[in-house]
Structure 1
């Protein structure tokens, strides 16, 4: 009978090969971890911007397709839009303003029958639109035709 040489018969993976392959797989996974974290951060930031954009559109949609009197435009500007939180708990502040071309030199609303005014809605991270460190999530404007005083 022939003796079986156990050292000459090396079929399959041994324990060392399995450990090396697991180490290489872990190394590749760790290399992709920063990419995953960056992607998650971008997704959460996009959630806030999407919510802010929806709110700004909701503020502008009632006024963008109609004619208004100067008094109605002033009332709309004086109304304080509600502050809200997105799904992550980030507070979004909504601000209304008129465009600079729609103001008199003293800063009051320039209303002329048959004329137009530009109205702006901005969503920011601060209660004051020009606050230091405030982030502007989104901003949109609409041109409104004035039908009378």
Structure 2
């Protein structure tokens, strides 16, 4: 995604950030996303761009999975979050002005692929552990309302 301002940014340049946006910004800073991607790629051998249709990037799919885990969203709700929320699109590195984001089936296939490889708890390892080191914890909540304890890092 480019650093160019979106219409959303231009509409309310000084708007207060939502609680979800604050949590996602903090996760962006604290989590080692490159190590997270390498660990998952080694286990599931995520497809690379080739001659066919370009797959959604592994980084974007991991971030979508984390948002779904964080908000307690099912696959359909995760897709709707991507469509409705500019802050979720920005966090997941999905261009909200570009082609349609991954659909619920793609998100579900990725989740099942992680489960098949035995990686159900990988979010706790790569997201929960860095937060615990910082003295904070993140408990998945209901959609758009994750419960946060500790300082925003």
TM-score of the superposed pair, with normalisation by structure 2: 0.25
Which of the pair is proportionally richer in helix? 2
Compare CA radii of gyration and give the structure with the larger one: 1
The structure, 1 or 2, with the larger RCO (C-alpha pairs under 8 Å, 6+ apart) is 2
Provide TM-score, normalisation by structure 1: 0.26
